[in-house]
Amino acid sequence: MVLLGDAVWSLTHYSGIGASSPVAGADLLGTTLQRNPGFAARALREREQKLRPFIGAVQTTAHQDLVIFVPQTRRDRTTRIVTLNLLRNPVAKRVMMGVIARQFREKSMDVAGA
Ligand SMILES: Cc1cc2nc3c(=O)[nH]c(=O)nc-3n(C[C@H](O)[C@H](O)[C@H](O)COP(=O)(O)OP(=O)(O)OC[C@H]3O[C@@H](n4cnc5c(N)ncnc54)[C@H](O)[C@@H]3O)c2cc1C
């Protein structure tokens, strides 16, 4: 039995990538099975090795982004207001996009590509 998508890693709606990662994960499963005919265990291991770092990174950022979606404290609320206001300013937006570029790079990774 192979678990896919939310059933195995439940990225939650705070990740912003919960809908596409099950599709990419299934696509990668097809690729690794095709590449290892008759060796399902090896195909699953290969898939896991490729997916795990990506999913781990997205789980971490989803946890960090939670405070933006659902502020828990006064400090979170202030951070959210300041962030949203800064994003309205084109110069500040460019600076912020540079700062958070790493996070977007991880989310833009081609997981299905073998
Ligand atoms: C409120 C909310 C907002 C979200 N917003 C976003 C967003 O903006 N962007 C984003 O990328 N993701 C978002 N997500 C997350 C995204 O919807 C999920 O991560 C994604 O749908 C997971 O896909 P999945 O195929 O793994 O599971 P699911 O989409 O949950 O599919 C599982 C399917 O299995 C069916 N099923 C369950 N048990 C059985 C059974 N015994 N027999 C047969 N069928 C069964 C279910 O009915 C369901 O249709 C959001 C989620 C929520 C709840």
Query: Does residue 1 belong to any structural domain of this protein?
Result: no
* Residue 22 Cβ < 6 Å to ligand 1: yes
Domain count, the chain: 1
Query: Does residue 114 belong to any structural domain of this protein?
Result: no
Please report the beta strands in 1-114, taking only residues with DSSP state E, as ranges in sequence order.
Answer: none
Nearest to 57 by CA among 6, 24, 98, 11: 11
Query: Does residue 63 belong to any structural domain of this protein?
Result: yes
Query: Does residue 113 belong to any structural domain of this protein?
Result: no
pTM of the predicted structure, to 2 decimals = 0.79
Query: At residue 109, what are phi and psi to the nearest 5 degrees?
Result: -55, 140
Tell me which of 1, 2, 3, 6 to substitute to probe ligand 1's pocket, judged by most ligand atoms within 8 Å of the beta carbon: 6
* Residue 5 Cβ < 6 Å to ligand 1: yes
Residue 11 and residue 3: Cα distance in Å, rounded?
14
Tell me which of 4, 13, 59 to substitute to probe ligand 1's pocket, judged by most ligand atoms within 8 Å of the beta carbon: 13
Q: What is the pLDDT along the chain (114 residues), one digit of tens a residue?
A: 888 888 988 887 888 888 888 999 999 999 999 999 999 999 999 999 998 888 888 888 888 778 888 898 999 999 889 988 988 999 999 988 888 776 677 777 788 875
User: Which residue range(s) make up the domain with 87?
Assistant: 6-107
Q: Which atom of ligand 1 is nearest to the CA of 4?
A: 26
Q: Are 15 and 63 in contact (CB under 8 A)?
A: no
Query: Does residue 47 belong to any structural domain of this protein?
Result: yes
Query: Does residue 35 belong to any structural domain of this protein?
Result: yes
Query: Does residue 46 belong to any structural domain of this protein?
Result: yes
Query: Does residue 88 belong to any structural domain of this protein?
Result: yes
